[in-house]
Structures are given as C-alpha cells and as structure tokens.
C-alpha cells in the first residue's frame, strides 16, 4: 500500500500490547520510521488503563497473554472507546484465536512473521477504517460461512455472505491484493474494501448459535 | 496396635495386645486361657483379634504363602462360633448345627469384606505367590472389586436370612421377611464400616491416575522439545552465517510446532488437506521459499485427489524454481461439486506459448495429469505480473465420465 500519512502532516499513533519485552522493542524499532509508538503495555490491566490515557489511533494487540489476553483488552475497551482501532498481531494463526479476536471487535489480524512494511501498511489501513484480512483469515471465514450454506439460521441476512463477498474472500485467500481483486472483478478498490468491511461486520454480529456450532464442528469446545 | 512377627506362638495376638497395653505377655495369655472357660470366649476373642489386627510391616524377605495364613482368621472365627453353638445348644444338634454353619458363613463373609476394604492389605495379597488368589482378591479393576463386594454382601445376607429361617417355625413367611430385613440392616452396618475406606481407596486411585496422565503429557512435551526445538536451535547456532539455511530451519521448525500445537493429526494419504500441506512443506524445505497455504474444507483422498495434489505440487515447484520470489500462495477449496486448487506467485511470469514442446513440466505433469483424471488445469501468466495455476477436479467419479463425454 502507500506510504502512510507523512503527507497528511500527522503521523499515526500506535500502542503496543505484548507480554514479550523483546518483541515490543523489535516492533518499536521497525515501526519507528512509519508511525509514532506512544505507549506499551505487557498486561491486560496495564493496557486498559494506559490505552485510555494515551488514546492512540491503533492498538497492536497480542492474543495470548498470561492474564486473559487480547480478548480481555478488547472487551474492556470496545464500548468505552469505540474510536480506538485494534489490530491483532499474534504468533498464533489458529482458527479459534483469529475468529475469536475478530468477533470481539478487532479490525484485522496479522501474524508476527509479517514484514515491517506490510505491518505499517496494515496499521494505516486499519486506521482508515478498513479491515485487514490475511489470506489465511479469509480462508477461515470461508470455512466458517461457506461450508454449510443449506443449514437454516435464525437471521439469514445477518449470517450469510453474499456471493460477491464470497468471491472477494476467495480472491483474498488466493493471495490477491485489493487492487488485483478490483481488476479481476471489474469493480473499484473502494468497493472491494466495502465488501471486506461487510464481511467483518457480519462476522462480529453473527449470532451465538452460529458461533457455537462453528466451534463445536472443529472440536474447539 | 498390630501383631508382631517375631514374638509369637500362634499368630502373635497375645504379644500384640501385651505391647499395646504395656503389660506382660504371660498375663494376657493366662487371661485368654481363663476366658476359654466361659463358653470358649477366649478362643473367640483370640480369633477376632487375629482377624482384625494388622500384621506388623514385613522387615525382611516377605514370607511365601502369607495369603493362606491371612485367610485363617476367618476360618477360626467360623469354627469358634460353631464351637460356641455346640456348647450352648449341645442337646439339639440338628437345628443348632445348621445355625452354627450359617453364623460361620456370616463371619467369613464379613471378614472378607473387611479385609478387602483395607488397601494396604490388598496390596500384600496382590503380590503374593498364588496367582489364582491374586485374581480373586487383588484390586486389579473396578469390576472384580464390585464382584467381591457383592459376593461378600450376598454371603452375609444369606447367612442372616438363614438364621431366621432355621430358628423360626417351618413355612412361616413372616419370619423369612424378618430375616430379609435384618439382613439388610446387617449389610447397611457393613456398608457404614466400609464406606470411608472405599471412598479413600477410590480417591487415591483417581489422584494416582491423574498424576500419571500429567506426567505422561509432560514427558511428551519434553521429548518433542528435545527432539525438534533444541536440535533446530543448535543447527541454527552452527549455521548462523548462512541466512538461507537459518530461514529454512526456522520455517520447518515453526511448521512442525504449529502442527503439533494446533492441528489434529491427519494422515496425508487419507485427507486432502493434509496431503496438500505435506506437499507444500516439502517444497518449502527443498526450495527455501514459504508457501502460504489456505485450505477450505476437506475430503477423503483417493487416486484422483492424489493426482490433483501431485499437480499442485508440480505447480508449487515451478513457482519456486522459476518465479524468483520468496512467497507462493496455495489456496484449495472443497465444494460439493468440485475441488479447486490455486497456486499463485507474483514473480517473473512466462509466456505459455513460448515454452518449447520438449519441456514436459507444465504440459505433462500439470495439464496432462489433470485431463487424465477428468479435471482441468488453466495457467494464467504474463511476464512481470506473476503466474496463477488453476486446477479443478469434479467431486465425484460420476461427473468424471460426464466431463470426458463433454470433452468429446
């Protein structure tokens, strides 16, 4: 994506939540050229109080932490601070972690093997209100929604993806970038972003029935 | 209080009591002999203490055939009771004799129950020399445990009912019913005595089993870390100058740890997803690139699916060798009517029409193989914009024939 925000006169502010000090230091060093890292936290309690104090644009959130993990931070912050965007940055790409964080309200999910430039681009995209979908995440979503299209659900409009959204997800999962998807489907990049955001919204608002069935099918519960 | 092994004449009861009460052994023995005069009370007491007192813990070599000795007290109780019966009802041999036997049965049954419920004693019996006895009394599994308790309970119940039936007038149902009630009361009493011991035994067993499972888990994790992680880290330290090698090692180790942590084990020869992941892993290891694998849905492997996997592998190898990129995407989807696999890179790209006829990689291994199995392979590539190989295979063999007919 494009170089973030230098031309807008204000650099994005980013907050790091991770229980590994080494990793925080590494990310801070890598991102220093692109964004302002305004704070760090190593635990859920610390993160909740310091995020409220610093009010960053984007919070980079680890999934697994000793005292509850990224999900606890999200649940504590979502309602009181809706303007703060959360991007999950985890070493785990297990389905239950990814879908769990997205359902709790994260705007995207990337793994820690991501390159610094890609991470900066993802932060920018999340700050602009878009979703960040890795091919793997798109695959999980397709798996969760598309595997059983014939099963009746309580609220079909909410729970099912449209054909177009599914098409966009498939191309994402095949490793296409947003602009390549736009070219492939003869739509604008903005439309692609809308579709992806809709998928994210549906994922967050899916009813509990769907979630529990999804989890039970994969023997997660 | 226990029966010593050393200072004993018969079973060590007298010396055990003497030690416990701190009085001379001779006094206890004299008292027992005197008590023998009162309807054989001394013998009865001796037998009861024999059955109830635990033997002193063995200090040296365990004695063989200890099991039979341990069984003796119950027999002794029974005999003592019969003797008592004989003394009390000496004139009426018929009924009293039968009643004596029944009481003896009660005594032995209760004795067996009591003995079995003591875990330390059971242990002794278990490693005794007589296998048949161990099979009966050793606490090998819950079923035999239950079997023994029910057996003992039945012995007690039959004994109590029998007493009433024998002493009561003939053909009186009320007496037999009374017998049943008293038998139940007797069983209840035995149950009250035994329940805490039973409970302790079961909770001991449970905690032991839990501990064993935990220990096993830990050992498995330790073995995994030792066999894989430590060796990989050692190799990385030795090869730290060779970045490609370090990356290859780290990637392979990451993959295997991830599989171990998050994925249920599936055999690559049975499941489509596992087969694809294995193919991707092989290409990753051989060509030092990373393959971003996404598989949606899964299905059983058969010959046709294996061909699809082989074609996908060939496409991955081509991308790794010719595209000149670090990352290749592999996406597979299982739908009701069709399996599809996409291999995409953003590398050099090539012109399909310009590939010489003598090169068989693409034509034979990908396009030809898919056609032979009723599938389809489409390659989209343009120089500078990367390559995408699309492989599709109809889901059922039925549609394979249909596809072949359509192709004609």
pLDDT tens digits for range A1-25 = 444 444 455 788 899 998 888 888 8
Q: In the sheet where B387-394 sits, what is the strand order?
A: B290-296, B327-334, B338-345, B387-394, B376-381
CB < 8 Å to A135, chain B: 292, 294, 329, 331
Q: Name the token pair of B292.
A: 């971003």
CA-based angle B375:B376:B381, to the nearest 5? 155
Which residues 3-22 in chain A show a CB within 8 A of chain B? Answer: none
Q: In which element (H, E) is residue B293 found?
A: strand B290-296
pLDDT at B66: 44
Any B CB within 8 A of A32 CB: no
- Residue A37 main-chain phi, psi, to 5 deg: -85, 110
Query: CB distance A135–B331 less than 8 Å?
Result: yes
pLDDT at B85: 63
Q: In the sheet where A108-111 sits, what is the strand order?
A: A36-41, A13-17, A58-61, A85-90, A108-111
Any B CB within 8 A of A52 CB: no
Any B CB within 8 A of A175 CB: yes
pLDDT tens digits for range A112-156 = 778 888 888 889 888 888 888 888 888 888 877 765 544 444 555
A143 → chain B, closest CA residue: B296
pLDDT tens digits for range B314-327 = 899 988 888 888 88
* Lowest-confidence segment of A205-214, B206-215, B386-395 by average pLDDT: A205-214
The predicted model gives A48-52 an average pLDDT of: 87
pLDDT tens digits for range B233-280 = 888 888 888 888 888 888 888 888 877 877 666 677 778 888 898 899
pLDDT tens digits for range B64-81 = 444 555 666 666 766 776
pLDDT at A215: 56
Q: In which element (H, E) is residue A77 found?
A: helix A70-77
How many C-beta atoms lie closer than 10 Å to residue B210's C-beta?
A: 10
Q: Using CA atoms, how far apart are residues A86 and A132, in angstroms rounded to an integer?
A: 11
Query: CB distance B297–A219 less than 8 Å?
Result: no
Query: CB distance B262–A174 less than 8 Å?
Result: no
Q: Which of A172, A174, A176, A219 has the most B C-beta neighbours within 10 Å, making it the best mutation to test the interface with B?
A: A174
Taking each helix axis as running N to C, give the angle between helix B142-167 and helix B93-116, from 0 to 180 degrees, rounded to the nearest 10: 160
Half-sphere exposure of A197 (CA within 13 A, CB side): 11
B257 → chain A, closest CA residue: A92
For the stretch A20-26, contacts whose Cβ atoms lie closer than 8 Å and that sit 24 or more positions apart, written own/partner, are A20/A62, A23/A112
pLDDT at B144: 62
CA of A90 vs chain B CAs: smallest distance (Å): 13
A212 pLDDT tier (thresholds 50, 70, 90): low
Query: CB distance A135–B264 less than 8 Å?
Result: no
Positions of E strands within chain A: 13-17, 36-41, 58-61, 85-90, 108-111
Q: Name the token pair of B121.
A: 């004693």
Query: CB distance A143–B262 less than 8 Å?
Result: no
- Across B353-375, b (16+ Cβ under 10 Å) vs e yields eeeeeeeeebeebbbebbeebbb
Query: CB distance A174–B296 less than 8 Å?
Result: no
A73 pLDDT tier (thresholds 50, 70, 90): confident
What are the residue ranges of helices labelled H in A78-188?
A: 95-104, 116-127, 135-146, 156-159, 163-173, 178-185
**CB distance A43 to A35 below 8 Å:** no
What ipTM, to 2 d.p.? 0.75
Which residues 65-94 in chain A show a CB within 8 A of chain B? Answer: 92-94
What mean pLDDT is reported for chain B?
Answer: 75
Q: Which of B294, B299, B390 has the most A C-beta neighbours within 10 Å, making it the best mutation to test the interface with A?
A: B294
pLDDT at A186: 92
CB < 8 Å to A92, chain B: 262
Nearest to B329 among A93, A135, A146 (CB): A135
Q: Using CA atoms, how far apart are residues B307 and A137, in angstroms rounded to an integer?
A: 27
């Amino acid at each position: 994506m494009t170089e973030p925000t230098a031309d807008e006169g204000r650099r994005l502010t980013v907050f790091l939540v991770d229980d590994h000090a080494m990793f925080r230091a590494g990310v801070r060093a890598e991102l220093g050229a692109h964004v302002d890292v305004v704070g760090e936290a190593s635990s859920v309690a610390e993160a909740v109080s310091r995020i409220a104090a610093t009010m960053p644009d984007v919070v980079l959130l680890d999934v697994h932490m000793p005292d509850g993990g990224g999900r606890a931070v999200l649940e504590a912050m979502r309602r009181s601070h809706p303007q703060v965007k959360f991007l999950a940055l985890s070493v785990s790409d297990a389905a239950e972690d990814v879908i769990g964080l997205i359902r709790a309200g994260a705007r995207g999910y990337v793994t820690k093997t991501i390159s610094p430039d890609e991470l900066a681009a993802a932060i920018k995209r999340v700050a602009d209100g878009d979703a960040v979908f890795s091919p793997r995440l798109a695959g999980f979503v397709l798996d969760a929604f598309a595997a059983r299209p014939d099963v009746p659900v309580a609220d079909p409009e909410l729970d099912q993806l449209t054909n177009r959204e599914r098409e966009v997800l498939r191309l994402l999962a095949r490793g296409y970038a947003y602009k390549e998807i736009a070219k492939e489907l003869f739509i604008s990049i903005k439309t692609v972003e809308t579709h992806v955001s809709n998928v994210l919204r549906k994922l967050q608002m899916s009813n509990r029935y769907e979630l529990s069935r999804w989890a039970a099918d994969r023997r997660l519960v | 209080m226990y029966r010593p092994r050393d200072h004993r004449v018969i079973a060590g009861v007298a010396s055990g009591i003497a030690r416990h009460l701190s009085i001379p052994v001779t006094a206890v023995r004299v008292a027992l002999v005197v008590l023998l005069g009162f309807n054989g009370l001394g013998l009865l007491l001796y037998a009861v203490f024999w059955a109830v007192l635990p033997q002193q813990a063995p200090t040296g070599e365990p004695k063989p055939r200890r099991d039979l000795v341990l069984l003796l007290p119950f027999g002794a109780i029974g005999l003592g009771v019969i003797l008592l019966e004989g003394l009390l009802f000496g004139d009426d041999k018929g009924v009293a004799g039968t009643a004596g036997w029944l009481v003896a049965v009660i005594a032995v049954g209760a004795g067996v129950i009591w003995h079995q419920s003591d875990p330390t004693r059971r242990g002794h019996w278990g490693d005794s020399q007589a296998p048949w006895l161990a099979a009966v009394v050793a606490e090998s599994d819950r079923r035999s445990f239950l079997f023994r308790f029910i057996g003992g309970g039945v012995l007690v119940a039959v004994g109590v009912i029998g007493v009433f039936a024998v002493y009561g007038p003939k053909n009186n149902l009320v007496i037999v019913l009374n017998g049943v009630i008293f038998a139940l009361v007797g069983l209840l009493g035995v149950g009250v005595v035994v329940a805490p011991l039973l409970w302790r035994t079961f909770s001991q067993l449970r905690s032991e089993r839990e501990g064993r499972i935990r220990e096993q888990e830990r050992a498995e994790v330790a073995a995994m870390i030792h066999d894989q992680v430590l060796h990989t880290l050692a190799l990385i330290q030795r090869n730290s100058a060779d970045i490609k090698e370090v990356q290859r090692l780290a990637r392979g180790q990451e993959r295997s740890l991830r599989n171990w942590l998050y994925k249920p084990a599936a055999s690559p020869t049975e499941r489509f997803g596992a087969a694809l992941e294995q193919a991707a892993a092989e290409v990753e290891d051989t060509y030092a690139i990373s393959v971003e694998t996404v598989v949606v849905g899964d299905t059983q492997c058969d010959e046709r699916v294996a061909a699809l996997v082989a074609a996908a592998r060939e496409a991955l190898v081509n991308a790794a060798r010719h595209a000149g990129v670090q990352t290749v995407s592999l996406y597979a989807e299982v739908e009701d009517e069709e399996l599809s696999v996409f291999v995409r890179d953003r590398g050099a790209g090539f012109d399909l029409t310009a590939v010489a006829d003598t090169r068989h990689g693409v034509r034979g291994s990908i396009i030809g193989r898919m056609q032979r199995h009723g599938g389809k392979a489409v390659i989209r590539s343009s120089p500078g914009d990367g390559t995408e190989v699309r492989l599709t295979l109809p889901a059922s063999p039925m549609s394979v024939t249909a596809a072949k007919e359509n192709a004609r």
